[in-house]
Structure 1
């Protein structure tokens, strides 16, 4: 798969993402005689298609109350365990990880990240609880979506497992509102950071899995995961599972996506170095994907034989 993960953008800071998961990625492969793409003789060519919707997976737009999301339902009559997927501070509906999860037997709801009121996400949890599924709802968060999942696990009822990819242990980006409570956001200025930005994880009840890129240049994700582990155990909670990936940066995608080493940050509006070495990060993405699936399968008791699964 090196021909895919080793691809590089032809413009600085661009990333290869899949916005429309209902159509495949199409990659044209050519073998040329020589090293000049415009001058070498074409020896062979092929077209590679990567499909994101497994056979039978249904994509259902959700417009329920304030919730604006997309639900991916696996094939069959169900019930299905649910996963709510929250992306980073760029916001928007990033569906490519969600529909891949649906191909492994999970009903997955990717959420839009906008103004941060936890009641909005409480509506999403209640929507999933009322939808035909199995007895569990998992939370999957990346970056800013990760600390939102930590807040959901701490304050809301209904979730049974939380998986976090390179996240902070405190509330970030903007203040978090819930009922009459406000958790201020962590400041970029280290001198102005306050302990009141920390999320009260001792209130959480479910198991945690932390995926940590050791070369993450956005957060000190390893430090945050270790702090979370110590905090939970101090309060008599189960020790979370933490998986560390050397030479791996902030943006850990599903397998065979070209690693995103740098991009223009949506909130900062400037170029941001995310870290990672392409080969190591690609291997980490393959391994982390399997760890995520296993974690949720163990919690929800999903039987792999119920859905025809691929490596992705």
Structure 2
């Protein structure tokens, strides 16, 4: 912003409409310098929705606003369509300038291919250019569905990216897949791997899987099960197999293989936990689930049955978690995975990115640079779920981990990382 009066106060507002048609807003107040310039990449706002010098602060600090009040929510962005952010500049409460910025997820030439064959459901995003491209399968977590925006971003970096649906979850319009995360056969993912390998524009020898939360658990499981997986990125994962989910945790299995349920940690809610949730509901206190998962941590005998044999993976592994994950103890799980890999003298590269103070939603494919990160969710009825972290810390972790993920994929699928331990 230029041509302001030196010393003039200006308010810059950013707003966007998510894919649920909900408005998100942020703001920052600045004082123009001696040249009448406000530079958000150089100046710290005097007040606003974020603190410190941050050129992208107005983007990640947007909050959902309903009836004039802020609400804890997830920024709904699943498609690969551009996101329009409106920027307004105010002086003394009057808007003096307005502009729009488009956040692109797919670069020019990226092609989206709907996949509805061989029982598979998803969207394949192919990068521009001839030749055979390394492939990445992207796996959502316990909400199900798929994130096309994430796959489009990876395709823009040269990867054949498959946003694969393995259960509907909240995406109830999707057909051809189970409704809930219960009894999902691993053969479904084996079929997806084979389908990609058969494509002439995909390099079937260079295939990675990326997942978050339950999708991170699944990514580790697929790497340990199928030799065709040559690299694994697991965000906020578990190194144990957990029980299924149907609207809420159940004591049914999540995964099957060769018709048999994989051993898992069953979900059993104690009376004390139930009373704790009821108390939080009455007092409108945000709910966390971390302690419940810690209490259900398997003993040594059970752990041997439900642990994912990550040491069988035929390629490098990247783990990502925040120390303030309040949904489940992903940081503890990651440390256990690292210990297991070390104990088994894992022959490929492996690394754990630990982000101090970050919560559950800190990385790709749920954390996307410049989009508002989720720290809490208020689905209604006075209930609020606390996922941990803060908007700033989660946003910073998202930016850093995104660069690290791209570097990991570059070395794993295009470089010489296979025989090198970090």
Tell me the C-alpha RMSD between the 2 structures: 1.9
Find 2:239's aligned residue among 155, 158, 169.
169
What secondary structure is seen at the aligned counterpart in 2 of 1:126? helix
Q: Report the secondary structure of 2:404's partner residue.
A: helix
Equivalences for residues 209-288 of structure 1 within 5 A: 209-238=318-347, 240-252=350-362, 253-263=367-377, 271-288=384-401
TM-score when normalising by structure 1: 0.88
CA distance in 2, matches of 1:299, 1:168: 22
Residues 113 and 209 (structure 1 numbering): CA distance in 2 closer, same or farther, change over 3 Å? same
Match of 2:23 in 1: none
Distance in 1 separating the partners of 2:327 and 2:90: 40
The 3 A distance-change label for structure 1 pair 69 and 237 is same
Give, in whole Å, the separation in 2 of the partners of 1:162 and 1:19. 22
Partner secondary structure for residue 102 of structure 2: strand
SS in 1 for 2:121: strand
Confirm whether residue 17 of structure 1 aligns to residue 66 of structure 2. Answer: no
Alignment match, 2:213: 143
CA contact (8 A) 1:89 1:173 kept: no
Shift, 1:234, TM fit: 1.4
Give 1:44's match in structure 2, choosing from 60, 72, 97.
Answer: 97
TM-score (norm 2): 0.66
CA contact (8 A) 1:70 1:110 kept: yes
Q: CA deviation at 1:203?
A: 2.2
Evaluate the alpha carbon distance shift between residue 164 and residue 42 of structure 1 in structure 2; reply closer, same or farther with a 3 A threshold: same
User: Which of 160, 166, 170 pairs up with 1:113?
Assistant: 166
Q: Which runs of 5+ in 2 are unaligned?
A: 1-55, 168-181, 245-252, 269-294, 416-422
> Quick check: 2:206–2:413 contact (8 Å CA) kept in 1?
yes
Distance in 1 between the 2:188 and 2:259 partners? Answer: 15
- For the pair 1:3 / 2:58, whether they are aligned, the reply is yes
Instruction: Count residues in correspondence.
Output: 293
Q: Write the distance in 2 (CA, Å) between the matches of 1:232 and 1:275.
A: 27
Question: Equivalences for 1:8-157 in 2 at 5 Å?
Answer: 8-11=63-66, 12-21=71-80, 23-34=81-92, 40-114=93-167, 115=182, 116-131=184-199, 132-134=201-203, 135-157=205-227
Higher strand share: 2
SS of 1:9's partner is: strand
- Would the alpha carbon gap of residues 184 and 13 (structure 1) be closer, same or farther in structure 2, given more than 3 Å must change? farther
Q: Considering Cα pairs closer than 8 Å and 6+ residues apart, tell me whether 1 or 2 has the greater RCO.
A: 1
Structure 1 equivalent of residue 271 of structure 2: none
Deviations 1:120-176 (A, max 9, x none): 111111111112222300010100001111111111231100011110111124221
Q: Structure 1 residues 191 and 51 mapped into 2: Cα distance closer, same or farther (>3 Å)?
A: closer
Contact map agreement 2:79 2:147 (CA 8 A) in 1: no
1:37 is aligned to none
> Unaligned 5+ residue runs, structure 1?
35-39, 303-312
How much does 1:118 deviate?
0.6
Q: Distance in 2 between matches of 1:140 and 1:31?
A: 40
Q: Does the CA-based 8 Å contact 1:129-1:158 persist in structure 2?
A: no
2: CA distance, partners of 1:104 / 1:96: 13
Residue of structure 1 aligned with 2:263, choices 184, 187, 195: 184
What's the secondary structure of 1:54's corresponding residue? coil
The question of whether the paired residues in 1 share the 8 Å contact of 2:111 and 2:128 is answered with: yes
Q: Look up the SS of the partner of 2:202 in the other structure.
A: coil
Q: Deviations over 1:33-81 (max 9, x none)?
A: 23xxxxx211211111111111100000011211101000000112100
Computing the radius of gyration from Cα coordinates, the structure with the larger value is 2
